Amino acid sequence: MTAAAQNELETDVQIRADGFVRVVLRGRLNEQTVVGCWSLLEKELLGTKVETLQVDVSGLGLCDAAGMTLLLYLSMGRMTPQATISVLGLKADLEKIFRELTLEDSQAFHPYPAIKRDSYVEKIGRWVGQTTMEIHEQMVFLGAIIASLPVSIFHPKRSRWAETRRIVELAGANAVPIVSLMSLLLGFIIAFESARRLAEFGAQLYVANTIMVVMVRDMGPLMTAILLAGRTGSSFAAEIGTMKINEELNALKTFGLDPIPFLVVPRILAGVFVTPLLTFYSILMGVIGGVIVMLGLGFTLPLILHQLASSVHLNDLGAGISKSAIFGVIVSAVGCWHGLRTEQGPSAVGLSTTRAVVTSLLLIIVADAVFSAISFLLK
Amino acid sequence: MMNAPNHIAISVKDLTVGYGDNVILQNVNFQVKRGEVFVILGASGSGKSTLMKAMIGLYPPLSGEVWIEGGNLMAAQGKERLALLRKFGVMYQSGALFGSITVLENVRLPLDEFSELPDPLKEVAALARLKLVGLGAAADKMPAELSGGMQKRAAIARAMALDPRILFLDEPSAGLDPITSAGIDLLIKSLHHFGFTFVIVSHELPSIYSIADRVVMLGSGAKGIIAQGKPAELRDRAADPWVRRFFNRQPDPSHSLEPS
């Protein structure tokens, strides 16, 4: 026999050799006393072979919700899985609640059903199925955009130019300060890094060539696209995703309006228009950054300008700008695509936004690599 | 700290609520007795939800006090305020269940944060609350998988997690079909037997007749209470004709669209 008093609760545990256990609780069973009682019962009952558990609570003066929880836990057999359990002496009002709570089979609502693990074959099969489905959906999406674009171009009155203008302002004009800062600093970095190396060969003048080639052919378009993916692609995904969750897309559909020409096409047109402009501006700011560094190194402005002009052809600028237009399409289309695919739930919009940014970045780098390979082969 | 007689659960004193110069409720006074089902009702835009949110301390009032179980919620700070907050649970209009965790985890969350109980007991405590609202079988479902009525019941279970004495329910029947709505009423009545005090914001008349012990009515534009009492008495004998029209579902005669 074990007896313990925790504050105002007395717990007697009587264990008989034939597996009969009698627990007598007297006093107050509340949140404060339950914790001590629990530890005592766990110590006594775990590892003991219990066939019959009798809990006598007729001596309880108070039993609050925490106390009731302990009685439920015992009666569900969580501490004595094999035993026949009875709770005796509950006061009439508590008995009613207790009965209500134990009416259902306690096993029937166990919250954690066993998780079925898939085999590798099933996992591969599911992945192939999902990827195929996704590629199919992307093709349908791309097809719908291509089918909608001529309507916008050849029937301008049917296009939503006001919406396109709004997006041009948001994605383009509002991005000018950050593009300025980023490109100027990029120009500084490239100039400083190349100046150190070129000084070893006495060829610091060629810093101008480095800046011009790097900014025009790669860094200008690439960094602008990366910035737009983080700033604009994510906002497209979040905006359209929220519209989907709020059933605004369903509202459009019931009016007979297709979300692709209504929402996606204006964003793609804005992306194609804005990205080359921002790229051109980025190139300009990067070169200015480089020029500032070169002036600091002691070169004269006419010499720097002459060197800059001789380092790239118009073709190079054309390649950089046209590449950026493709990046613009990628960023806008991927943002809208993930926005339209947003599912329900509080984390859905965040998930779509993340996917939009990651997919855009990946596709931009892949596209840039393809462009570089093509231009190398053409030369 | 004790300020109210023992049978008073909530005491609202000269409460003025608003945003800047826009006063929504002015000098509101009423008391909620222990163990009663108290309904705040009124027209859309009369400030019902605002009053409830001021009573639970979400909107700081411009002036006035709210006393809950003898403690001044407006003046309490730190641990004292935390102890007062544990005296009531709240069900929000949309349910406001956390969508990224299961229904059981929603109910368990306050227990995990504030209860001293051992972990296995917390799980049983959460299950017991879900069983009380009839959702034992939905414990491992995600909130998005539940119907509107089930979400509200799960939210009531979560509001009961820390064993409060008072439950605030914001529009428990809104947007539900009559059968589900009656089910919620029945749940409120059965929980009422366990000794909870209810403060309910509603304008569902069948529900109010079925559950309310006492109502206060907020007037549209009156910035305060225009009537209080038992619902049937107000329907038949209210001095204000607008209140009688409200309870008898009669339209405002000046806005009639009937052909003349």
pLDDT of B1 over the 50 cut: no
Chain B contact set for A32 (CB, 8 A): 116
Q: Could you say which residues from 106 to 135 on chain B have a Cβ atom under 8 Å away from some Cβ of chain A?
A: 115-118, 120-121, 123-125, 127-128, 130-132
- Report residue A3's pLDDT band, with 50, 70 and 90 as the boundaries: very low
Total beta-carbon pairs less than 8 A apart between chain A and chain B: 72
Q: Cβ of A111 and B123 within 8 Å?
A: yes
Chain B contact for A347 (CB, 8 A cutoff): yes
pLDDT of A36 over the 50 cut: yes
| pLDDT for position A103 | 56
Q: Cβ of A112 and B140 within 8 Å?
A: yes
The whole-number average pLDDT for the span B25-41 is: 92
- Per-residue pLDDT tens over the stretch A51-93: 888 899 888 888 888 888 888 888 888 888 888 888 888 888 7
pLDDT of B169 over the 60 cut: yes
Q: Cβ of A104 and B131 within 8 Å?
A: yes
Q: Cβ of A66 and B100 within 8 Å?
A: no
Chain A contact set for B100 (CB, 8 A): 345-347
- For chain B, state the CA radius of gyration: 19
Helix (H, G, I), strand (E, B) or coil at B250: coil
pLDDT of B5 over the 90 cut: no
d(CA A41, CA B111): 21
Q: Cβ of B100 and A109 within 8 Å?
A: no
The closest of A243, A271, A23, A7 to A145, measured between CA atoms, is A271
Chain A contact for B174 (CB, 8 A cutoff): no
| pLDDT for position A5 | 46
pTM: 0.70
pLDDT of A108 over the 50 cut: no
| pLDDT for position B250 | 78
Taking all residues of chain A, what is their mean pLDDT, rounded to a whole number?
87
Looking at residue B258, the DSSP 8-state letter turns out to be: S
* Cβ-based burial of B253 (10 A; exposed 0-12, middle 13-18, buried ≥19): exposed
| pLDDT for position A109 | 44
**φ/ψ of residue A27, rounded to 5:** 105, -135
CA dist B59 to B13, B49, B52, B53, B224, Å? 15, 11, 9, 6, 16
Q: Cβ of B163 and A109 within 8 Å?
A: no
- List the single residue in A39, A66, A109 with the smallest CB-CB distance to B136: A109
- Per-residue pLDDT tens over the stretch A5-20: 445 888 888 888 888 8
Chain B contact set for A31 (CB, 8 A): 115-117
Q: Cβ of A72 and B128 within 8 Å?
A: yes
Alpha-helical (H) ranges within A200-313 are 207-214, 220-228, 234-245, 248-254, 259, 265-296, 301-311
- List the single residue in A31, A108, A344 with the smallest CB-CB distance to B144: A344
Chain A contact for B32 (CB, 8 A cutoff): no
Q: Are A90 and A124 in contact (CB under 8 A)?
A: no
Q: Cβ of B98 and A112 within 8 Å?
A: no
**φ/ψ of residue A29, rounded to 5:** -105, 95
Q: Which residues pair with B215 in a beta bridge?
A: B39, B229
Chain A contact set for B161 (CB, 8 A): none
Q: Are A322 and B75 in contact (CB under 8 A)?
A: no
**Cα dihedral sign, A29-A33-A38-A43:** negative
pLDDT of A370 over the 90 cut: yes
Chain B contact for A32 (CB, 8 A cutoff): yes
Amino acid at A136: H
Q: Which residues pair with A263 in a beta bridge?
A: none
CA dist B235 to B140, B198, B217, B224, Å? 44, 22, 12, 19
- List the single residue in B99, B118, B137 with the smallest CB-CB distance to A109: B137
Report the residue of chain B nearest A114, measured CA to CA.
Answer: B140
The whole-angstrom distance between A101's CA and the closest CA on chain B is 6
d(CA B43, CA B221): 10
Q: Cβ of B115 and A31 within 8 Å?
A: yes
**φ/ψ of residue A96, rounded to 5:** -65, -45
Q: Are A9 and A25 in contact (CB under 8 A)?
A: yes
| pLDDT for position A1 | 40
Q: Are B204 and B181 in contact (CB under 8 A)?
A: yes
Q: Are B117 and B162 in contact (CB under 8 A)?
A: no
Q: Which of A111-125, A297-311, B167-181 has the highest mean pLDDT?
A: A297-311
Q: Cβ of A345 and B99 within 8 Å?
A: yes
Q: Secondary structure of A176-228 in the HEC alphabet?
A: HHHHHHHHHHHHHHHHHHHHHHHHCCCCHHHHHHHHHHHHHHHHHHHHHHHHH
- List the single residue in B117, B130, B137 with the smallest CB-CB distance to A31: B117
Residues 6+ apart with CB under 8 A from B143: B95, B97, B98, B99, B103, B106, B151, B154
Chain B contact for A95 (CB, 8 A cutoff): no
Residues 6+ apart with CB under 8 A from B18: B24, B25, B62
d(CA B154, CA B144): 12
Q: Cβ of B124 and A78 within 8 Å?
A: yes
pLDDT of B181 over the 90 cut: no
| pLDDT for position B116 | 85
Q: Give the number of other CB atoms < 10 A from CB of residue A239.
A: 19
Q: Cβ of B121 and A113 within 8 Å?
A: no
The whole-angstrom distance between A1's CA and the closest CA on chain B is 24
Q: Cβ of A344 and B139 within 8 Å?
A: no
Report the residue of chain A nearest B142, measured CA to CA.
Answer: A345
Chain B contact set for A69 (CB, 8 A): 117, 121, 124-125, 128
d(CA B139, CA B156): 14
